Amino acid sequence: MTMHTDPSTAPNGVLLAIDGKGGQLANPYEHATDSTWTWLHLSQNSDQARDWITHHSGIPQSEAHALIADHARPRCVQSEQGLLFIGRGVNLDEGSVPEDMKSIRVWIEPKRVITVVRRRMRSAESIAERFETGHPPSSPASVLVQLFAQMIHRIAPIVQEIGEQLDELQYTVIDDDTPTPDITELSRLRLRTVSLHRYLLPLYEASTTLCTSTLLTTHTDNPNSSDEHSVLTDANLTRDQLGRIVEELAAMEAKAAVTRDEMVSQRSEQLNDRVYRLTVLAAVFLPLTVLTGLLGMNVGGIPLASTTNGFIITSLSMLGLMGATILVLKMLKWI
C-alpha cells in the first residue's frame, strides 16, 4: 500500500487508493466491480481529481461542488446517494498555528468512501496505517467515524493547553502580590479560543447529524462483525467529547472576558490611585506656592526682606503652613 502525504505532488491527484482489504487499486478513477468497498483519498489541488469528482464520480452535483469548494464550513448532509461530511482539524505542521484549521471533505456510500484535502491531513494518514497493522476500518462509515475521532483526538490537547494558559493568567491577575500582566497575552489567547470555537461549533452540529445517519449502520464486509454497532457508538462518544470541548471553549471565552474586565479594572484603580496621590501632593504645596509667589514679588514692603533671620522665619512659617494643610486634609479624610 502506497500513500502520498503531500497533496501538491500527488500523482494524478491520488494520495491513496485502496480497497477494504488494503489492496492497491490499479485504476483509482474506475468504479470497482467486486463486492468489497474502496477508499479514495484525493488532492483538492489536482485538476484531474477535481474534474473526476465533478463529472465522472457519480456524486450529486451539489455534493461534488462542496467537495472541491475553496471554502466550506463544517456540515453533514445526507441524500439518497450517500452522505457528505465536511470537517476541520487542527494544523500540526511545523511553523503553523493549530487554530489555522485544515478542512477535510468526505463522501461515503455503502461501498465507497472519498476523502478530499487541500493540505496534508495526519488524521487520514493514521487511518491508512491501520490497514498495515491489521486493524483496518471495516466499512466506509467506519473510515469516516475514525477520521472524525482522530481529528477530535488532536484538538483536545490544544484546547487543554489554551485553557491552562488562561487559568495561569487569571490567577496572576487575581494575585495581589504579582504585577498585572500585559493585556496583549490575554488578547492572543482569546483570539485563539474564538478561532477554534468558530469552527468547532458547526462541527459539533454536523456530528449530531452524522450520528443520526443510516449509513453508520450499513453492514460490513464481515457478516459476524459488530462494527455497525461500534461505529455508531464511537460516533456518539466522539460527538459527546466534541460537545464538551465546545462547552469548554465557550467557558474559556467568558473567562477571558472576565479576566480582561478585571485587568482593566486593576489598571483603572492603579491610575486613579496615582492621580489621587498627585492631587494630594499638589494640595499640600499649593499654599506654599502662593506664599513664595507673594514673597518673591519685586516690590517694596516685602516682610522680613531686611531682616537677617528672615529666611529662617519664612522657612519655619512654610513648614507650619504645610503641617496645617496636612492636618486639614486629614480632618476632611482626604488622606
- Please provide the DSSP assignment of 76-101 as one string: EEE-SS-EEEEEEE---STT--TTSP
Do 194 and 283 fall within a single domain?
no
| 82 within some domain | yes
Domains identified in the chain, total number = 2
Quote the pLDDT of residue 48: 93
User: What type of residue sits at position 183?
Assistant: I
Domain assignment present for 91: yes
pLDDT, mean over the chain: 86
- 120 and 229 share one domain: yes
Residues 6+ apart with CB under 8 A from 292: 318
* 198 and 100 share one domain: yes
Considering the domain architecture, whether residues 212 and 233 belong to the same structural domain is answered as yes
Q: Which residues contact 40 (CB under 8 A, 6 or more apart)?
A: 14, 16, 17, 25, 28, 112, 113, 114, 115
Q: Please check the confidence at residue 224 and state whether its pLDDT lies above 70.
A: no
Q: What kind and span of H or E run contains 108?
A: strand 102-109
Q: Which residues contact 200 (CB under 8 A, 6 or more apart)?
A: 88, 155, 242, 245, 246, 249
Q: Which pLDDT value is given to residue 243? A: 95
Residues 75 and 178 in one domain: yes
**pLDDT of res. 210:** 93
* 276 occurs within a structural domain: yes
| Residue 2 belongs to a domain | no
Query: Same structural domain for residues 68 and 174?
Result: yes
Residues 169-175: contacts with CB within 8 Å, 24+ apart? 169/259, 170/255, 170/258, 170/259, 173/259, 173/262, 173/263, 173/266, 174/262
Do 78 and 126 belong together in one domain? Answer: yes
Check whether 220 has a pLDDT greater than 50.
no
Q: Which 3 state secondary structure label does DSSP give 4?
A: coil
Q: What is the pLDDT of residue 208?
A: 93
Answer whether residue 231 is part of any domain.
Answer: yes
| CATH number, domain containing residue 20 | 3.30.460.20
Are residues 176 and 288 located together in one domain of the fold?
no
| Residue for grid cell 459527546 | 240
Report if residue 1 sits inside a domain.
Answer: no
Q: Are residues 153 and 20 in the same domain?
A: yes
pTM above 0.85, yes or no: no
Q: Same domain for 116 and 221?
A: yes
Three-class secondary structure of residue 106 per DSSP: strand
90 and 215 both lie in a single domain: yes
pLDDT > 90 in the chain, percent: 40
pLDDT for 229 equals 61
pLDDT tens column, 72-96 = 889 999 988 999 999 999 988 888 8
Between 43 and 302, the higher pLDDT residue: 43
Q: Is residue 175 part of a domain?
A: yes
Q: Looking at the structure, do residues 179 and 235 belong to the same domain, yes or no?
A: yes
Q: Which of 250, 267, 284 is the last residue of a domain?
A: 267
Range of the domain at 292: 272-296+304-331
pLDDT band at 227 (very low <50, low <70, confident <90, very high): low
Separation between Cα atoms, residue 87 and residue 127, nearest integer Å:
15
